[in-house]
C-alpha cells in the first residue's frame, strides 16, 4: 500500500462524506439487509462508485491509493453500520490487495488492480475443513498441467468470506507433497471464480452478521494458466498470505472498534430514554460505570489503531502489533456489547432491540483472521524470538 496516501485534506472531506453516507443511507437500510440477508444491489453499486472497492489500489491503476492509516479509518467509519457493509469490500482492500502488492508480477498488477478498483469482488482461500492456521495440514493441491505450462487445482476451502458472489479468489494450494521449511510447500494462485471446475456451496447459516456471506469453495480439476501463479514462483504463497493477514487483522481491529462505538452510542441513548424509579437509568452510578468502562476501552483501541497504522506507513514490521491490536479490539468489542445488553436489561435479550444483534455480530471478531488464542501464541513467539536475537 502507498505509504504517502491520499492528500490529507481531500481524505478528511472523503471521511466527512462517508460518515454522512453511513448515517443517512446505510444505517436506515439495515433492517432490509437483515430481513433479506443481503445488501441491496443499489447500495453495492453506490459503494463501488464511491471507490470503496479500490481504496488501497494505487492511483495509477484506478484506485484511491490510501495508506494503511487512511484505510483503517475508512473501515472504522464503515463499521459503525451493520458489518455486512464492510465485509463486502474488506477482502478487496485488505488481504487480496496486500497480497497483490507484496507478491504479484507487474503483469498481474496490471491485470487485476484495475478490475478490483472498478468493483470486482475478491475472496481469500486459505482455510480448509481440516486446516486453518496449520498450513502443514493443507490438502488443496496444485499440480503441473501435463498438457501445458499451467496448473490443475483440486481441494476444498471453508468459511470463505464473499465466496458466493466473488469474481476472483486467491487460492493457497500445496505445490509440494511434503511440508517444507517456512511453508515453502504452499503457493498462491489468482483464480477467476467462473473458471471451469470452481464452485461454491450454499451460504452458511451464521450466528450474526446478516448480509455477509461465507461458503465453501470446491476446486475440481481447475485448470489455470501458468501466469495464475502469484509472483510467478512456487513456494511463496504462504508468505504472501501471512503478510496480507497483517492487513486483515488491522481491518478486523478497526471494524471491531467502530462497531463497539456504535453499540456504546446506542446504550447511552437508551440509558437516557429508559426510566426506572422515576428517573433515567443513566443517572444510576452502576450504569455509568459500564458506560465509562466501555468508553475507556474504545479509546484505548482507537489509540492502538493510530499507532499500528502509522508504524505500518513508516515501513515498520507490525506483525506483533497488528496481532495485539486485533486481539485487544476484538475482545474489547465483546466486552462492550455484553455491557450494552446489560444496560438494556430485559430489552437487551429481545431481537426487537439493537443490543441483541450487536452481541451476536461482535462474536466473530474474536475468531477470524486468527483466533485470539492463535494470536497470543504468535505475539509470544515473536517476543521470544526478539529476546533471543538480542541476548543470543
Q: Which residues are catalytic?
A: 369
Q: Are 304 and 253 in contact (CB under 8 A)?
A: yes
CA 152 – CA 138 distance, rounded (Å):
16
Q: Quick one: DSSP state of residue 266?
A: H
DSSP codes joined into one string, 70-105: HHHHHHHHHTTS-HHHHHHHHHIIIIIHHHHHHH--
Query: H or E element: which one contains 49?
Result: helix 41-49
Sign, CA torsion 329/334/337/339: negative
Nearest CA among 236, 364, 317, 259 for reference residue 68: 317
- Locate 314 and state its grid cell: 513508516
Classify residue 372 by its DSSP letter: H
Report CA 152 to chain centroid distance, whole Å.
29
**Hey, is 21 helix, strand or coil?**
helix
N-terminal to C-terminal alpha carbon distance within the chain: 34
Q: How many other CB atoms are found less than 10 A from the CB of residue 381?
A: 12
Half-sphere exposure of 311 (CA within 13 A, CB side): 17
Angle separating helix axes 372-391 and 319-344, nearest 10 degrees: 150
Contact between 58 and 65 under an 8 Å Cβ cutoff? The reply is yes
Amino acid at each position: 500500500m502507498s505509504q504517502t496516501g491520499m492528500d490529507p485534506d481531500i481524505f478528511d472531506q472523503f471521511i466527512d462524506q462517508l460518515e454522512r453516507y453511513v448515517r443517512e443511507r446505510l444505517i436506515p437500510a439495515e433492517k432490509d439487509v437483515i430481513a433479506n440477508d443481503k445488501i441491496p444491489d443499489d447500495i453495492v453499486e453506490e459503494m463501488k462508485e464511491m471507490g470503496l472497492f479500490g481504496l488501497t489500489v494505487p492511483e495509477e491503476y484506478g484506485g484511491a491509493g490510501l495508506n494503511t492509516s487512511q484505510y483503517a479509518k475508512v473501515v472504522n467509519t464503515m463499521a459503525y453500520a451493520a458489518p455486512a457493509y464492510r465485509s463486502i469490500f474488506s477482502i478487496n482492500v485488505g488481504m487480496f490487495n496486500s497480497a497483490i502488492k507484496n507478491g504479484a508480477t507487474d503483469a498481474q498488477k496490471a491485470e487485476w488492480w484495475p478490475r478490483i478498483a472498478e468493483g470486482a469482488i475478491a475472496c481469500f482461500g486459505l482455510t480448509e475443513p481440516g486446516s486453518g492456521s496449520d498450513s502443514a495440514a493443507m490438502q488443496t493441491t496444485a499440480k503441473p498441467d501435463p498438457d501445458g505450462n499451467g496448473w490443475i487445482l483440486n481441494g476444498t476451502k471453508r468459511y470463505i468470506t464473499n465466496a458466493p458472489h466473488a469474481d476472483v479468489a486467491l487460492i493457497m494450494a500445496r505445490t509440494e507433497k511434503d511440508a517444507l521449511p517456512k511453508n515453502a510447500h504452499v503457493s498462491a494462485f489468482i483464480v477467476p471464480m467462473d473458471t471451469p471446475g470452481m464452485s461454491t456451496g450454499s451460504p452458511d447459516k451464521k450466528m450474526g452478521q446478516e448480509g455477509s456471506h461465507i461458503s465453501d469453495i470446491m476446486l475440481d480439476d481447475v485448470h489455470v494458466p501458468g501466469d495464475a501463479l502469484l509472483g510467478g514462483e512456487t513456494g511463496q504463497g504462504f508468505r504472501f498470505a501471512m503478510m496480507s493477514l497483517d492487513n486483515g487483522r488491522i481491518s478486523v481491529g478497526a471494524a471491531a472498534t467502530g462497531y463497539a462505538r456504535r453499540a456504546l452510542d446506542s446504550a447511552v441513548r437508551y440509558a437516557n430514554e429508559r426510566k426506572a424509579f422515576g428517573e433515567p437509568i443513566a443517572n444510576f452510578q452502576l450504569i455509568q460505570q459500564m458506560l465509562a468502562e466501555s468508553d475507556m476501552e474504545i479509546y484505548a483501541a482507537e489509540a492502538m489503531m493510530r499507532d499500528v497504522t502509522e508504524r505500518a506507513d513508516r515501513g515498520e514490521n507490525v506483525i506483533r502489533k497488528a496481532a495485539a491490536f486485533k486481539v485487544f479490539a476484538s475482545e474489547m468489542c465483546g466486552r462492550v456489547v455484553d455491557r450494552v445488553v446489560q444496560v438494556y436489561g430485559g430489552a437487551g435479550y429481545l431481537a426487537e432491540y439493537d443490543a441483541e444483534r450487536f452481541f451476536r455480530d461482535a462474536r466473530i471478531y474474536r475468531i477470524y483472521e486468527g483466533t485470539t488464542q492463535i494470536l497470543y501464541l504468535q505475539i509470544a513467539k515473536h517476543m521470544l524470538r526478539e529476546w533471543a536475537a538480542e541476548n543470543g
